Structure 1
Amino acid sequence: MLAATAAAAALLLSACTGGSGASGAGDTSGDQLLTIPREDLATFTRNFNPLSPQAAPMTKEAVYEPLVVHSMADAKDTPWLATKWEQAKDGKSLTFTLRDGVKWSDGQAFTADDVVYTFELRKKVLGGLDYLGTVTAGDPHTVTFSLTKPFSPGFFEISNQPIMPKHVWSTIDDPAKFTNADPVGTGPYTKVEKFQTQAYELRKNPNYWQPEKQKIAGIRLLAFSGNDSANLAFTNGEVDWTQSFIPDIEKTFVAKDKKHNHYWFPPAGAMINWQLNTTKAPFDDPAVRKALSLAVDRDQIAKVAMNGYAQPADCTGLAHTYDKWRDPQLAAACTWTKLDPAAAAAALDAAGYRDSGGKRKLKDGKDFRLDISVGSASSDWISAANIIKQDLAKVGITATVKTPDWAAVVSSYEQGTFDTGIVWSNNGATPYEYFRGVMSKALLKPVGEKAGENYHRFGDPKADELIDAFAAATDEQKQREQINGLQKLYDADAPVVPLFTGPEFGAYTDARFTGWPSQDNPYATLGNRNTSTVLVLTSLTPVKG
């Protein structure tokens, strides 16, 4: 099977590079394309609509740009389409000064009207941003966001929104369905070439405002059906940069070329949770959720499933990205996130789910069974699910790991029809996004109505009070009080079962490009799917042989 996969990968690469001059693996002409695999997409659709959940890779990273670029690697905000910003003392407005001389890729000038229109369109198509009142252009280079209330997380959400050209999108009848096959953006690589279902290229924006930073000729994206095939192409030196999970990376990748092959996995990712559908019994009972958590061996998941790349979670719910916000006293006193099968069994007994002949029983006498859903492309999370399955068997619960493609899994999450599943969480400059995503009643959707987050459908009004108080506070000490309160409430509610901090995977070979971020130079993460990706794209330099 591996031989067949290698052959398929070789055919794919030759098919999309043949005759193109600077192209193949090993090319160091100076015009080589930065080649990136996508292990989570077996095929590509020519959709460069930044408002679409089906947008093609690099839409928000290379084609469209935000006002400010936030990096989870060093928590810094880099001025981008905006050069500076100011928040009103009452916290109810934000004013951005836009960069002069920026043009769209079709040559038209970028102005404040584009920013105003982008947010009008975003609210119309995607909703949300309820705290945002009006967006006004004071002049072509000044935009003011008036808020309906003080809302400190607003800066992160507003400043990182990809900006879209009014002169293009205002002519579209249905922006939500528009596929935007030939996008007009301000980003460094906007020209779509050689688009196929399994490969396409993005070439230079001819009007980019930082031409001196467009050192690479372009980007090539390759589609793969999972980690294994994508990793084979990467470890064989056929691609340059991956965000895929690679087992035993030191042996399978670095050892092949210690001079050129590198990786960096900072704990800049979101918390990875085992979510339990709280609209279904017995998952609506926090005692059951905690009991199931007690049965889970997080150390084994981190060591085996995640190959030692991840850090186990605790009962604060906070990823290690947010260590400065963690309540150390609560973290030291955690109970239900520590492995204890005997305590798990006792808690299930106490909740009325007793063991009978080695099988745990529901209150109606049926066997306690559950499904764990994970997308088929994620071999690491599938391994984690299988460890949970084995752990649950020790307390008499039968689990079935289901692995359809991610589209089917996400659909079951969105509609609320799933049983349990392993899922990512929201990530941001503060823990606000995480707690809001797992505990807010404001985000609850009934089963059958599409949810964009809070798939497990849990809400606590006390959490909303703390979340709103955090957002209204402009002083960090006051914000810390609310976050401490949220951690205590999380410990009491167990809205989800936190597993581990998702490392921000990233690996590369510098045989063809140099200038990568690293632990010694953490100007961005090595992820190629986040807001700081554009910092990498504008920092790389091609190797010339």
Structure 2
Amino acid sequence: MIDGTRRTRMRLTSALGLGLAAALALSACAAPESGPTTGTDGSSSLMLAADNGSPTFVKNFNPFVIEKRTASTIINEPLMVVNALDGKSTSFLQTDYTQPDAKTIVSDIREGVIWSDGEEFTAEDVVFTYNLLKEFPALDSTGVWSRLESVSAEGLKVTFTLQAEDSSAPITVLAVPIVAEHLWADVKDPVTFTNEDPIGTGPYTLGDFNANQYKLEKNADYWQADKVAADELVLPAANSQLDVVNNGYDWAYAFMSDVENTWVAADEGNQYWFPAAGTVAIAPNLTKAPYNDPNFREGMSLALERDSIADNASEGTVGAAGQQGLLLPTQDEWLTDAIPDKGMVAQDTDAAEAAFAKAGFTSKGGKLVDADGVQAKMTITTPNGWTDWLRAVQEIQKQYVAIGIDVKINQPQPAAYFQAVQNGDFDVAMTSFGGNGSVYQGYYNLLSSDFLQPIGTTAPSNYQRYSNPEVDRMLTEFRTTVDADRQKELAGELQEVMYNDLPVISVYYAGLWGLVSDKSFTGWPDADNPYMTPTPYTSAALVVLTTITKANG
């Protein structure tokens, strides 16, 4: 719960799928029907582990729904793409934007762009797209209409009028994928529309598609086609570690066990970059007992030995996270002195048992039981195939069992996981938040009642169903004030909420698992040139695919 403030250094984050996307670790169990034409020096075909079948692909290129094929973010461009590591933006369907006042954003629309069916792209397409999200709120996954009052166009300028002063808005508002009015205006139900023949303005169009693999072909009429190095993208449904190591991928997003001796050793030119971004947490369902009791949640937090969870999850590539909701050390300057140890929580089983006792649970015969002698039970939901999260859950299970909780693990396929989490159909769920450079946006996506939905109704964020009017007030003031000192005060108050009320339980920092090969293409983002996140399943791919070049000219 994947911002900034205009063109200077941005502090507010893009929502990146509101946190779920920020920790995608792709794996599957099916194999492509035939070997893709890639993996040789100088090849013009680029193979991506960027989409994951469940276990096979369903043809859905609706760019607004969670179950979309991830390549829809390559086909349908937004106005701009933000680097979640530093908040800097790259313009796509706009040439620039200004914020003349805190309630207004003006986007200068790019001329000379055409849709892949040959129709002209216009400012009216932008207005149509945003009004589509207003008419069908289920499509508004980043909550732009919780901020917008209206969108209008005059010539090549699109004006976004905000409901309130909001210097954080551009990075979220301008990141929406744009669709063609001349096609989508006739769609009866855009929420269920699968868009099987997608038309976009992006660098690629849909090519061959089957249940085990699909391809994207270079858009010869793309407005910056000279910057597109790969003539073809190949996306298999099967992206297990073995597949990634053996099948000649050019770019993969996957947690890789023993990465030096697996991916790096597999082929000359294989490299990796695992920058820290975001926080992996366990989200208790706050509509259920005993998770609706902050004392029980405190016990859950104190029972965890986070360092061992982080080590098991990532083989030492990331560290334990604090309970303050910040990404450290990147956001050290926002830390409050009101909570101890920078919000880091050490395992303390005695204190955990005391907290559980306040919630009505005591330890008897090695079991944590309530007043009726019934053992506390918990099912933790995590996506099937996400090996790093599974390792974390298994260690969490071990630690909770040690304190007397009966813990089971539920591993639905990713699509079913997304549905369950959004609908509130879980006891405790693995999730992630933040990691997009914005203190405000991280807290907003995680805690705001703007996303609150009843159980059984899709919530685009705040999956745990947290609601606190005082927190909503803090978030509103944080969003509207331009006083930097007051922003830090509010951030401190929100840290105290995270630490004391435990709406979610932070566990460890999420890595971004970028694997690349420079045999066919060079210029990938890395620690020396972190121009974009190594995340091919988001619109970040637009920046990377228009930056890399062919290895041999």
TM norm. shorter chain > 0.5: yes
**Structure 1, 438-447 or 351-360: larger mean CA deviation:** 438-447
Report how far residue 150 of structure 1 moved: 1.0
1:109 corresponds to 2:125: no
Question: What is the aligned partner in structure 1 of residue 440 from structure 2?
Answer: 432
Larger radius of gyration: 1
Q: 1:94 & 1:309 partners in 2: Cα distance?
A: 39
Report how far residue 189 of structure 1 moved: 0.6
1:131 corresponds to 2:131: no
Equivalent AA in structure 2 for residue 31 of structure 1: S
Given the alignment, which residue of 209, 216, 225 partners 2:230?
A: 216
Report how far residue 544 of structure 1 moved: 4.3
Contact 2:84 2:435 (8 Å CA) reproduced: no
Q: 2:30 & 2:178 partners in 1: Cα distance?
A: 38
Q: 2:42 & 2:212 partners in 1: Cα distance?
A: 25
Question: What pairs with 1:87-166 in structure 2 (closer than 5 Å)?
Answer: 87-89=99-101, 91-125=102-136, 126-127=139-140, 128=143, 129-139=145-155, 141-166=156-181
Q: 1:78 & 1:236 partners in 2: Cα distance?
A: 34
Structure 1 unaligned segments of length 5 or more: list them.
18-22
1:25 corresponds to 2:39: yes
Structure 2 unaligned segments of length 5 or more: list them.
1-26
Question: What is the aligned partner in structure 2 of residue 20 from structure 1?
Answer: none
* Residues 13-48 of structure 1, C-alpha deviations (whole Å, 9 max, x = no match): 6x254xxxxx1432x354333343534642112221
Question: What is the aligned partner in structure 1 of residue 271 from structure 2?
Answer: 262
Question: What pairs with 1:82-481 in structure 2 (closer than 5 Å)?
Answer: 82-89=94-101, 91-125=102-136, 126-127=139-140, 128=143, 129-139=145-155, 141-190=156-205, 192-224=206-238, 230-257=240-267, 259-268=268-277, 270-320=278-328, 323-324=331-332, 326-327=334-335, 329-330=337-338, 332-333=340-341, 337-425=345-433, 428-481=436-489
* Residues 447-501 of structure 1, C-alpha deviations (whole Å, 9 max, x = no match): 2333222221111111101100011123433322221221122212111111112
Q: 1:359 & 1:178 partners in 2: Cα distance?
A: 49
Report how far residue 319 of structure 1 moved: 2.7
Q: 1:328 & 1:146 partners in 2: Cα distance?
A: 33
* Residues 488-533 of structure 1, C-alpha deviations (whole Å, 9 max, x = no match): 2221211111111211111111112111111101111111122322
Give TM-score, length-normalised by structure 1.
0.90
Contact 2:28 2:54 (8 Å CA) reproduced: no
1:70 corresponds to 2:78: no
1:394 match: secondary structure: helix
* Residues 385-439 of structure 1, C-alpha deviations (whole Å, 9 max, x = no match): 1111111122222211222222333333233231112112255441223222332
1:219 match: secondary structure: strand
Report how far residue 202 of structure 1 moved: 0.4
For the aligned residues, what is the CA RMSD?
A: 2.3
Equivalent AA in structure 2 for residue 36 of structure 1: A
Give the direction of change, closer, same or farther, for the CA distance of 1:296–1:42 in structure 2 (3 Å limit): same
Question: What is the aligned partner in structure 1 of residue 3 from structure 2?
Answer: none
2:403 match: secondary structure: coil
Equivalent AA in structure 1 for residue 208 of structure 2: K
Report how far residue 237 of structure 1 moved: 4.3
Percent pairwise identity: 33
1:96 match: secondary structure: strand
1:423 match: secondary structure: strand
- The number of equivalent residue pairs is 522
Tell me which stretches of 4 or more aligned residues in structure 1 moved more than 6 Å. 5-8
Q: 2:147 & 2:48 partners in 1: Cα distance?
A: 40
Contact 2:29 2:240 (8 Å CA) reproduced: no
Give the direction of change, closer, same or farther, for the CA distance of 1:504–1:115 in structure 2 (3 Å limit): same
Give TM-score, length-normalised by structure 2.
0.89
Contact 1:38 1:222 (8 Å CA) reproduced: yes
More RCO (CA 8 Å, sep 6+): 2
